[in-house]
Amino acid sequence: MLTAYDYPTALALDRAGLDMILVGDSLSEVELGRDSTRAIGLEVMEHHARAVRAGTEATHIVVDLPADTYRDPEEAVASGRRLMEAGADSVKLEGALIPQVEAILAAGIPVMGHVGLLPQTAEDYRRQGTTDESAERIAADARALDAAGCFSLIVEAVPEDLAARITAEVTCPTVGIAAGAACDGQVLVSTDLIGQLPEPPTWMTPRADVFSTVRDAATAYRDAVREGGVE
């Protein structure tokens, strides 16, 4: 599973044979340059979901419900319907908000859960589940979301032994990020994977250097134009 926020990236990821594409609210930070995932609303997510849908034929598209759009079950259903109309195959929310999950599912919309680090509400991006008490709480949240009917769970930024425990205790597939290799699948922000920013996260290794490629192409174009060339 990888993120996509635009039509060209969706085209490439769809042809890569992934299981899922996530239109994540991480776009707030990596695409729009804002300080947190909380800085965008439903309209922005709809806009990017439509772009990804236009470039996707075969891959399941999950779209994040942005912060403050699922504060109660009624709002959660309304927001979920808007994202489905924009092109989602399912929606994702953060935390063990079981009434919201059950309401969305009752409306016929598949739901992916998210436990561990919850960027929409976290004060910082520290690893979670590092004490017995917090690990038990996260595992209990995962079991509750699984029992409510989530088709999959994101497990973010927890110790690998906790990710392994969650994966063993739930029936739905788990998808890890910064949680080791014990989950059933993995997800990354494509911007990080392809090195699109000058300083990628220190905890992962980019598989490309798109930032340098774009910079070098722009520099070569600048030089060619200044020398009197045309394209």
Q: In this structure, what CATH number is given to the domain that contains residue 102?
A: 3.20.20.60
Please give the tally of structural domains in the chain.
Answer: 2
More confident: 26 or 124:
26
| CB within 8 Å of 11: residues ≥ 6 apart | 55, 56
My answer on whether 210 and 158 are in the same domain is no
State yes or no: pLDDT of 19 exceeds 70.
yes
My answer on whether 169 and 82 are in the same domain is yes
Mean pLDDT, range 149-168, rounded to an integer: 98
My answer on whether 117 and 223 are in the same domain is no
Q: pLDDT above 70 covers what percent of the chain?
A: 100
Residue range(s) defining the domain that contains residue 126: 2-193
Give the full edge-to-edge strand order of the sheet including 174-177. Answer: 2-3, 20-23, 60-64, 90-92, 111-116, 152-156, 174-177, 185-186
DSSP state of 115: E
My answer on whether 177 and 205 are in the same domain is no
Q: Are strands 20-23 and 90-92 parallel, antiparallel or unpaired?
A: unpaired
d(CA 53, CA 60): 10
- Cα–Cα distances in angstroms (integers) from residue 80 to residues 110, 194, 195, 213, in the given order: 9, 30, 31, 37
Count how many Cα atoms sit within 13 Å of the Cα of residue 52 in the half-sphere of its side chain: 32
My answer on whether 78 and 182 are in the same domain is yes
My answer on whether 159 and 59 are in the same domain is yes
Q: Tokens for 169, please give them.
A: 């205790």
My answer on whether 147 and 230 are in the same domain is no
Across the chain, what does the average pLDDT equal? 96
* 120-129, 132-141, 174-183, range with the lowest pLDDT: 120-129
State yes or no: pLDDT of 18 exceeds 80.
yes
State yes or no: pLDDT of 83 exceeds 90.
yes
pLDDT at 202: 84
My answer on whether 117 and 56 are in the same domain is yes
Q: Where residue 186 falls among pLDDT bands split at 50, 70, 90?
A: very high
Mean pLDDT, range 166-189, rounded to an integer: 97
Q: Which of 106, 65, 130, 134 is nearest to 142 (CA)?
A: 134
pLDDT at 231: 64
pLDDT at 227: 92
My answer on whether 174 and 225 are in the same domain is no
Mean pLDDT, range 87-115, rounded to an integer: 98
pLDDT at 81: 98
State yes or no: pLDDT of 110 exceeds 70.
yes
pLDDT at 170: 98
My answer on whether 19 and 105 are in the same domain is yes
Q: Where residue 201 falls among pLDDT bands split at 50, 70, 90?
A: confident
My answer on whether 188 and 100 are in the same domain is yes
My answer on whether 37 and 58 are in the same domain is yes
pLDDT at 124: 84
Backbone angles phi, psi at 90, to 5 degrees: -160, 170
State yes or no: is 74 an active-site residue.
Answer: no
The one catalytic residue in 31, 75, 156, 169 is: 156
